[in-house]
C-alpha cells in the first residue's frame, strides 16, 4: 500500500510551479477578496471589487484632489470616475496588473489611505471578464483594456477631459456565477463614503450624496429607535465619534478607518467601547459595570491612521495597535522602528477629555444617561441571579450534556492555537428534537461543529417580560452554550446556524429563536453571525444519479434532466434524511441564508409585524408569500 502511494505521489522539480500574480488571484480569490458570492450577501466579492476601485478615488480626495466621484452600477457593469490627479501615464498598465505595485507604500504621495498593499485594483482586473482603465493628466490620456487580467490593447491620446481616473469593469461570471448587484447595498456604501468624507459628493447612478455633518448625519439617518437624548458629536484631529442611548438592548456602534467600513470592528472599536464605559464611570464617580454603561448605545467611530494593518485583504477588521508605525535606518544603517501613540490610548484620551467636557456643558442630559445605566444595572443583576440559579439546577440534573454536543474546537482551547480558518468555520447548529439533533451529531465535523438541541417550542420573547425569559430553561442554556451572558466578544462560535424542519412547527420554532436573538442580542445578527440552514425539500433520483432539490423549480429541473425512471422523495423533517445523505448538507455544500438586520431597521417594528397581534398586513404578507403543500408537490416540466 505504502509503495503504491509513493508511486502515485510523485514530487520532483517538475512539480515546483511559479504562478504569476494574476493567475494566483484567479486560483485563490479568497485570499484577495474574502469570498466570491452572487451579490445576495453584503460581504460578497462583487462589492469588494467595487469598494477597491472607489477606495482609490477616496484616497485622492483625502489628499485634496477632486471633490466628486461618479459611480454607475447596473446588474453587471461598474463604472467609477474620479477627478483626482490621475494615475501617472507611463505606469497605468503596471498599476492595475502587477502585484505589489503602487504609490502607497510610503506616505509621500498618499497619507492615511485605505489601500496600502498594491493588491486591490489588480484583484479587480484579474477577476473581471472585462477591465478598462483610463487616466487623464494635463491634456494627455493613457488607457488599457484587459480581459481576465490579460492585456488586450492599450494606448495614449490627447484629451480635453478633466484630470482623474476612469475604471470600468464587469465581474467574471466564470468566478461569480450569475451575480447581481443589490442596489440597497451599493446605496449604503455610497452614503457611508459621503458621511465619512465631509464635502465629498458621491454621484451614484445620477443621485447625489453629500454630507455636511459627517458621522452625525450617518447616525441620525440610521437611528431605528428613538434616542433618549440628541446624539453627542465629538471631532478632533484624526478622530470623530458619535454616541447616544436608546431603550433597545445590545450595542449598535459602527466603526471606520480611513473611510473604510470595518464592520468586524478591531482595535479602534474595542478602544471606543472601553473609553465610553471608563469615562461615564469616572464622570459619575461610581463603579458601574461596562455593559450597563453601553446597554442600548447607538454610535459610530471613525479614525485616520498612517498605514493601517487589517486582518484580511477585505479590510473589515483593524489589526493595527499604533496610530502610526515606521521603519527607519539610523545613522549607522541599523533598522529601527518608531511608533506613535497606541490606538487604545489615543481613543481613551480623546473620549475622556471631550465627552467629560460635553457632559459638563450639557448637564440636562446627564440624569437621562445615569437613569439608563441604573435601569440596565438593576435588570442585569435581577436576570443574572435568575440565570445563575437555572444554570446550577441544570448542572445538577446534567442537562448540559443532553443539550449541547460541543466540538473539539473548544476542548483544545489550551492546546491548539486557533487559525483564522478555525475561527471562521466554528459553528453551532440549533436544532429541534432528538431526531434532528441526532442526525446532525452523527455527520457533523466534530472538530468545529457543535449541536444544541431544543426541546419543543421556546418562549415567545416578544410577548413576555425579561424576567420570565431569563427563567426559561431552553433559552438560558442556549445563551450559556453561546458564551454571551456577559459580553458578545466572548461568543464561542463564529456561526450560529438555526436548523429546523421545513414544516409549520419548524418555521415557528425558527421565528421564536430569531425573535429572542433579535430582541436581546441584536449585534449577533448585525455582525453576521446568525444563519438559517437550508435543507433539501426533495430527492430526485434514477438508477444512475441522485439530485437534492431545495425548491419546486430545482425539482422540476432535476426531473427534466434525469428523464426516465425517476423516483421523487419529499422531505418534511431533518430526521427523515438519512445520516449518509445529510453529511453533504452541513459540509462544504452547506447552504446558509445569512440573517440580516440593517442599522436603520427598527427591531421593535420588525418584531411587532411578525410576532405581535395578528393584523391584516401580516395576513396579506402570508398569503402573498406562503406556498401550499400542493404547490410544493406540483411539478411543471
DSSP 305-345: -SS--BSSTT--SB---BS-EEEEE-TTS-EEEEE--BHHH
Specify the pLDDT at position 391.
65
Specify the pLDDT at position 340.
80
d(CA 201, CA 172): 29
- Residues in CB range of 601: below 8 A, 6 or more apart: 224
Q: Tell me the CB-side half-sphere exposure of residue 567, using CA atoms within 13 A.
A: 7
Lowest-pLDDT range of 186-190, 292-296, 628-632: 628-632
> pLDDT tens digits, residue range 311-321?
754 567 787 88
d(CA 47, CA 401): 43
CA-angle at 508, arms to 505 and 509, nearest 5°:
85
> pLDDT tens digits, residue range 511-531?
888 888 888 888 888 888 999
The three grid cell numbers given for residue 305, joined into one nine-digit string: 491612521
Q: Are 232 and 355 in contact (CB under 8 A)?
A: yes
Calculate mean pLDDT across residues 257-277: 87
Closest CA to 607 of 464, 430, 431, 457: 464
> pLDDT tens digits, residue range 542-577?
888 888 888 888 888 899 888 888 889 888 767 677
Q: Collapse the DSSP code of 361 into the 3-class scheme (helix H, G, I; strand E, B; otherwise coil) and give the result.
A: helix
The three grid cell numbers given for residue 510, joined into one nine-digit string: 425558527
Closest CA to 264 of 319, 344, 197: 319
How many angstroms separate the first and last alpha carbons of the chain? 49
pLDDT band at 240 (very low <50, low <70, confident <90, very high): very high
User: The domain 215-378: what is its CATH number?
Assistant: 3.30.230.10
Q: What percent of the chain has pLDDT over 70?
A: 81
The three grid cell numbers given for residue 567, joined into one nine-digit string: 423516483
pLDDT band at 105 (very low <50, low <70, confident <90, very high): very low
| C-alpha 317 chain-centroid distance | 10
What is the per-residue burial (b if ≥16 Cβ within 10 Å, else e) of 50-60? bbbbbbbbbbb
Specify the pLDDT at position 112.
47
Closest CA to 59 of 135, 165, 186: 165
d(CA 394, CA 482): 16
Given a cut of 90, whether residue 287 has pLDDT beyond it is yes
Distances (CA, A) of 613 to 248, 381, 455, 461, 463: 20, 31, 25, 14, 10
Closest CA to 520 of 472, 560, 574: 472
Question: What residue ranges in 314-464 does DSSP mark as E strands?
Answer: 325-329, 335-339, 404-405, 427-432, 449-454
Calculate mean pLDDT across residues 371-381: 90
Specify the pLDDT at position 5.
46
pLDDT band at 282 (very low <50, low <70, confident <90, very high): very high
Closest CA to 516 of 603, 446, 629: 603
Given a cut of 50, whether residue 113 has pLDDT beyond it is no
Long-range contacts for 368-373 (Cβ within 8 Å, ≥24 apart)? 368/228, 368/229, 368/245, 369/228, 369/229, 369/245, 369/280, 370/284, 372/228, 372/245, 372/247, 372/295, 372/296, 373/280, 373/284, 373/288, 373/292, 373/293, 373/295
Calculate mean pLDDT across residues 613-619: 69
Specify the pLDDT at position 397.
47
> pLDDT tens digits, residue range 142-152?
999 999 988 99
Lowest-pLDDT range of 198-202, 351-355, 594-598: 594-598
Closest CA to 213 of 237, 185, 194, 227: 194
Q: Which helix (H) or strand (E) holds 559?
A: helix 552-562
Cα Rg of the chain (Å, integer): 27
Given a cut of 70, whether residue 625 has pLDDT beyond it is no
Q: DSSP label at 447?
A: T
In degrees and rounded to multiples of 5, residue 65 shows phi and psi of: -125, 115
Residue 32 neighbours by CB distance under 10 Å = 26
Specify the pLDDT at position 390.
66
d(CA 547, CA 54): 42
Q: DSSP label at 14?
A: G
Q: Collapse the DSSP code of 495 into the 3-class scheme (helix H, G, I; strand E, B; otherwise coil) and give the result.
A: strand
Specify the pLDDT at position 2.
45
> pLDDT tens digits, residue range 55-88?
889 888 888 888 899 999 987 889 999 999 888 8
Given a cut of 70, whether residue 108 has pLDDT beyond it is no
SS3 content of the chain, % helix, strand, coil (to 5): 40, 20, 35
What average pLDDT does the structure give for the chain?
80
Specify the pLDDT at position 136.
93
The helix-helix angle for 616-625 and 603-611 (nearest 10°) equals 80
d(CA 259, CA 214): 11
- Residues in CB range of 553: below 8 A, 6 or more apart: none
- Does domain 22-210 fall into CATH 3.40.50.920? no
d(CA 55, CA 61): 10
> pLDDT tens digits, residue range 443-496?
888 888 889 988 877 788 877 777 777 777 788 888 888 888 777 778 889 899
> pLDDT tens digits, residue range 34-61?
778 888 777 788 888 998 899 889 888 8
- Where is mean pLDDT largest: 215-224, 414-423, 581-590? 215-224
Q: Are 26 and 175 in contact (CB under 8 A)?
A: yes
Calculate mean pLDDT across residues 398-402: 55
Specify the pLDDT at position 12.
52
Q: Which helix (H) or strand (E) holds 87?
A: none
d(CA 42, CA 51): 12
Calculate mean pLDDT across residues 92-103: 72
Higher pLDDT: 327 or 226? It is 226
Per domain, the residue ranges of the chain are 22-210, 215-378
Q: What is the pTM of this model?
A: 0.70
Distances (CA, A) of 512 to 475, 482, 598: 10, 17, 20
Amino acid at each position: 500500500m505504502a509503495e503504491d502511494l509513493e508511486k502515485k505521489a510523485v514530487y520532483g522539480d517538475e512539480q515546483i510551479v511559479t504562478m504569476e500574480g494574476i493567475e494566483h488571484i484567479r486560483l485563490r480569490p479568497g485570499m484577495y477578496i474574502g469570498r466570491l458570492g452572487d451579490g445576495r450577501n453584503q460581504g460578497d466579492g462583487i462589492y469588494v471589487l467595487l469598494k477597491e476601485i472607489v477606495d482609490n478615488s477616496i484616497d485622492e480626495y483625502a489628499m485634496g484632489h477632486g471633490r466628486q466621484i461618479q459611480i454607475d452600477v447596473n446588474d453587471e457593469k461598474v463604472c467609477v470616475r474620479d477627478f483626482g490627479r490621475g494615475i501617472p501615464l507611463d505606469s497605468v498598465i503596471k498599476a492595475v496588473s502587477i502585484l505589489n505595485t503602487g504609490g502607497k507604500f510610503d506616505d509621500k504621495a498618499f497619507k492615511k489611505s485605505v489601500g496600502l498593499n498594491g493588491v486591490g485594483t489588480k484583484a479587480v482586473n484579474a477577476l473581471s471578464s472585462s477591465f478598462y482603465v483610463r487616466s487623464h493628466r494635463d491634456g494627455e490620456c493613457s488607457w488599457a483594456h484587459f480581459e481576465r487580467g490579460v492585456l488586450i490593447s492599450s494606448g495614449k491620446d490627447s484629451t480635453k477631459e478633466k484630470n482623474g481616473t476612469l475604471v470600468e469593469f464587469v465581474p467574471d461570471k466564470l468566478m461569480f456565477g450569475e451575480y447581481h448587484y443589490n442596489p440597497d447595498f451599493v446605496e449604503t456604501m455610497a452614503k457611508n463614503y459621503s458621511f465619512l468624507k465631509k464635502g465629498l459628493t458621491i454621484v451614484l447612478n445620477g443621485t447625489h450624496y453629500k454630507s455636511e455633518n459627517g458621522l452625525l448625519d450617518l447616525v441620525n439617518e440610521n437611528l431605528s429607535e428613538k434616542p433618549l437624548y440628541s446624539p453627542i458629536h465629538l471631532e478632533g484631529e484624526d478622530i470623530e465619534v458619535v454616541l447616544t442611548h436608546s431603550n433597545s438592548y445590545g450595542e449598535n456602534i459602527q466603526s471606520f478607518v480611513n473611510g473604510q467600513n470595518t464592520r468586524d470592528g478591531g482595535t479602534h472599536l474595542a478602544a471606543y467601547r472601553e473609553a465610553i464605559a471608563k469615562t461615564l464611570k469616572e464622570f459619575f464617580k461610581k463603579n458601574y459595570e461596562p455593559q450597563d454603561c453601553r446597554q442600548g448605545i447607538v454610535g459610530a467611530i471613525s479614525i485616520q491612521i498612517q498605514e493601517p494593518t487589517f486582518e484580511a485583504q477585505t479590510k473589515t477588521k483593524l489589526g493595527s495597535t499604533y496610530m502610526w508605525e515606521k521603519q527607519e535606518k539610523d545613522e549607522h544603517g541599523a533598522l529601527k522602528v518608531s511608533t506613535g501613540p497606541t490606538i487604545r490610548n489615543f481613543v481613551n484620551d480623546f473620549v475622556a477629555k471631550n465627552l467629560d467636557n460635553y457632559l459638563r456643558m450639557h448637564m440636562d442630559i446627564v440624569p437621562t444617561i445615569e437613569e439608563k445605566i441604573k435601569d440596565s444595572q438593576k435588570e442585569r443583576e435581577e436576570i443574572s441571579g435568575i440565570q445563575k440559579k437555572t444554570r446550577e439546577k441544570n448542572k445538577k440534573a446534567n442537562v448540559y450534556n443532553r443539550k449541547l454536543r460541543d466540538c473539539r474546537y473548544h476542548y483544545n482551547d489550551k492546546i491548539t492555537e486557533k487559525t483564522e480558518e478555525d475561527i471562521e468555520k466554528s459553528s453551532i447548529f440549533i436544532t429541534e428534537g432528538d431526531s434532528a439533533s441526532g442526525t446532525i451529531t452523527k455527520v457533523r465535523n466534530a472538530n468545529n461543529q457543535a449541536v444544541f438541541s431544543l426541546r419543543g417550542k421556546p418562549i415567545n420573547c416578544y410577548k413576555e417580560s425579561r424576567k420570565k425569559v431569563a427563567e426559561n430553561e431552553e433559552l438560558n442554556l442556549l445563551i450559556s452554550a453561546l458564551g454571551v451572558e456577559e459580553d458578545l466578544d466572548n461568543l464561542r462560535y463564529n456561526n450560529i446556524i438555526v436548523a429546523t424542519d421545513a414544516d409549520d412547527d419548524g418555521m415557528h420554532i425558527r421565528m421564536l429563536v430569531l425573535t429572542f436573538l433579535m430582541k436581546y442580542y441584536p449585534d449577533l445578527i448585525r455582525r453576521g453571525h446568525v444563519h438559517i440552514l437550508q435543507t433539501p425539500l426533495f430527492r430526485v433520483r434514477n438508477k444512475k444519479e441522485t439530485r437534492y432539490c431545495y425548491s419546486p423549480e430545482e425539482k422540476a429541473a432535476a426531473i427534466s434532466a434525469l428523464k426516465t425512471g425517476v423516483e421523487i422523495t419529499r422531505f418534511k423533517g431533518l430526521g427523515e434524511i438519512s445520516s449518509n445523505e445529510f453529511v453533504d448538507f452541513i459540509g462544504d455544500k452547506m447552504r446558509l441564508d445569512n440573517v440580516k438586520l440593517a442599522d436603520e431597521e427598527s427591531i421593535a417594528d420588525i418584531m411587532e409585524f411578525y410576532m405581535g397581534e395578528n393584523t391584516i398586513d401580516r395576513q396579506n404578507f402570508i398569503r402573498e408569500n406562503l406556498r401550499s403543500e400542493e404547490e410544493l408537490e406540483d411539478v411543471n416540466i
